[in-house]
Structure formats: C-alpha cells, structure tokens
Amino acid sequence: MIALAVFRVAAYVRSHRVYQALLLLLALLAIVEGSRAPVGQETSALADTAVLLIPVLAWSTRSLLDTEPDQQRTLSAISVGGRARELGAGLLAALATSVAFAALALGWGLLLGVSVTPPPDEFAAVLALHGIAVLAGLALGALTSRPVLPSPAVSIMALLFGFMAMLLLSVSPLYWLTVPVIRWMKAAGAGDLAARLPELAAISLLWCLAGLAAYGWLRRARP
C-alpha cells in the first residue's frame, strides 16, 4: 500500500498538479503572514492560518486523487490486492502531501508571521488545529474527488460550498454540526484555545472521521 501511495504522490508531483495547490498556499501565506502579528496575538494568527489551510488542502487532496486515470485506479486496485487498499493508498498519499503543506504553513507562520512562539500549551493547541485542518481538508477533498463527483464543475462548487458551509455553520449556535472553524478562531482570539480545545477537537475530529467514512462508503459503489 505504501508503494502505491508513493506512486500516486510521484504522479501528482510529476504531473505538476502539485504546483496549483503550492502556489495557492504560498500566495495565501504571503498575504496573511505579510506582517507579523502584534505581540500577544500569536496564537490567534496561527489559528487563522490553520483555518485558511483547509480549502487549500481540500484542493490538494482532490487534485491528487484525480491525477490517476480511472482505468489506472482499476489496475492499481488489482495490483495492490483490492479496492480497500487502493482507497487507503490514495488517502495515505493525500495525507502525506497535506502534512507537508501544513508543515510549510506552520513553519512560515512561526518564522515570518509572529515575533515570539506562543506558550507551550497554546502552541500545542495550534499544532492540534493544524492536524485537524489536515484531516478536514482530506475529508472535504476526498468527498469532492472524481469517483464521488464525476463532474469537475459540480466537484469544485461542492468543495467551495462545503468550506463556506463550514464557516457559516460554525458562526451559528449550531456550530457542532460541522468542523467549527470560526470557534477555533474565536477561542484563539479570546486566549482560551487551550482550555476549549478538547471540546472543539472532539467535534472537529468526529466530523472529519464521518467525512472519511462517508467517502469510503460512497466509493463502494463508485470504483
């Protein structure tokens, strides 16, 4: 399965599709981290970056999963020993790519976006948010990939509206119905991210895992 994941990352890089997400991420970071956050607002600035990462990572995941032609997906499934392993290899490849992008964003933020590193408990919370952002991007990107949504127009609209819905719902009292990204930002701005992390992380992880489970379920009938 790891060899197939490597094959898919290699195809993603060699097809140059990786640069679409990379350039988008670099442009976003250049704008968001253009000036250092005021002292005391480091956690808030880094939490904002984690939220902005989600659509970029969703785009990257969708793009990586769609690089492989449908017929090659069939050959890969037979070669690796089944559809489940092929699906797992695709997600593993997307996860590895997303972790690299998230590390780049966090590194950029720490070097150029803030003057001092946040206190350890808040920094750990920021790290956790980046990890959840990776999973959220993975789930959203997988659910909008070609096997699930064959139309490119529908797929890209679903990705954008999916992220918009995440933003809008998480402003409302029904924030627990989605990955509550705005609540992350509010908690970081109020200085109680570390205290509220267990609740926010639990809701976020639940929806990420539900999204990935839905992807696995949908792929049963969409090889």
Other beta carbons less than 10 A from residue 195's beta carbon: 12
Long-range interactions of 82-87: CB distance < 8 A, separation 24+ = 83/219, 83/220, 83/223, 85/1, 85/4, 86/4, 87/215, 87/216, 87/219
CA angle 156, 160, 166 (to 5 degrees): 145
Least spacing, CB of residue 97 vs other proteins, in Å: 16
Q: Does 96 bind other proteins (CB under 8 A)?
A: no
Q: Which is nearer to other proteins, 15 or 172 (CB)?
A: 15
Q: Does 58 bind other proteins (CB under 8 A)?
A: no
Q: Does 77 bind other proteins (CB under 8 A)?
A: yes
Least spacing, CB of residue 101 vs other proteins, in Å: 20
Q: Which of 23, 27, 30, 78 is the binder for other proteins (CB under 8 A)?
A: 78
Q: Does 6 bind other proteins (CB under 8 A)?
A: yes
Other beta carbons less than 10 A from residue 164's beta carbon: 11
Q: Does 191 bind other proteins (CB under 8 A)?
A: no
Q: Does 3 bind other proteins (CB under 8 A)?
A: yes
Q: Does 79 bind other proteins (CB under 8 A)?
A: yes
CA distance 150 to 152: 6
Assigned token pair, 98: 């997303």
Q: Which residues bind other proteins (CB under 8 A)?
A: 3-4, 6-7, 10-11, 14-16, 68-72, 74-83, 223
